[in-house]
Amino acid sequence: MFKLLGFTLLAYLIGSFPTGYLLARLKGVNIFERGSGNIGATNVWRTLGPLYGTLAFIGDVGKGALATYLGMRLGPTAAVLTGAAALVGHAFSVFLRFRGGKMVATALGVFLLLAPKATLGALAVWIFVFALGRYVSLASIIAAGSLPILTYALRYPRGICIFSFLAALVVILRHRDNIRRLLEGKEHRFGR
């Protein structure tokens, strides 16, 4: 029990590691004050360019995968708990006064380990939607919504299906400003 609690706390701290924020700080930029004000890879890319955006993406995916891997050493339930802790850490980072990102890249890392086939399917959905309109937010919202459908269709364990639904719901809720801008026709297309 204590080992599980320790791993969950460690997973939260791993998830809290503010990759995009720190990369921007290396360039003397406060990412909260640039672009969308988000610490995620998309805003880092727009603000600092493809190299830093790619590094932010890799870091955020990696921390989700690492946290989940820690839990997998204790079993499937622990893997869900540590994955969830990483997502909470990314969204509410203790290092950023409980501010954070929208969890998309970190969730990719978490679910690549928990439900790889469903996650690759959701990634394919993301690529398809992005290719059609070049809206990162819309692609993220639709891909997030597809994940619980895919975990259920591919018969993953009930705990993973429920977790994927809850994670998708939170990701979508954290995109509510993007949804409003999409509806108003004011959302920025990637690369413009």
Retrieve residue 140's tokens: 């993220």
**CB-based contacts of 161: which residues, under 8 Å, 6+ apart?**
148, 151, 152
**CB-based contacts of 75: which residues, under 8 Å, 6+ apart?**
none
Q: What is the 3-state secondary structure (H, E, C) of 95-140?
A: HHCCECCCCHHHHHHHHHHHCHHHHHHHHHHHHHHHHHHCCHHHHH
pLDDT in tens, 6-32: 999 999 999 999 999 999 999 999 999
Q: What is the pTM of this model?
A: 0.94
pLDDT in tens, 88-130: 999 999 999 999 999 999 999 999 999 999 999 999 999 999 9
Q: Does the structure show a pLDDT above 80 at 191?
A: no
pLDDT in tens, 144-177: 999 999 999 999 999 999 999 999 999 999 999 9
Per-domain residue ranges of the chain: 1-114, 116-192
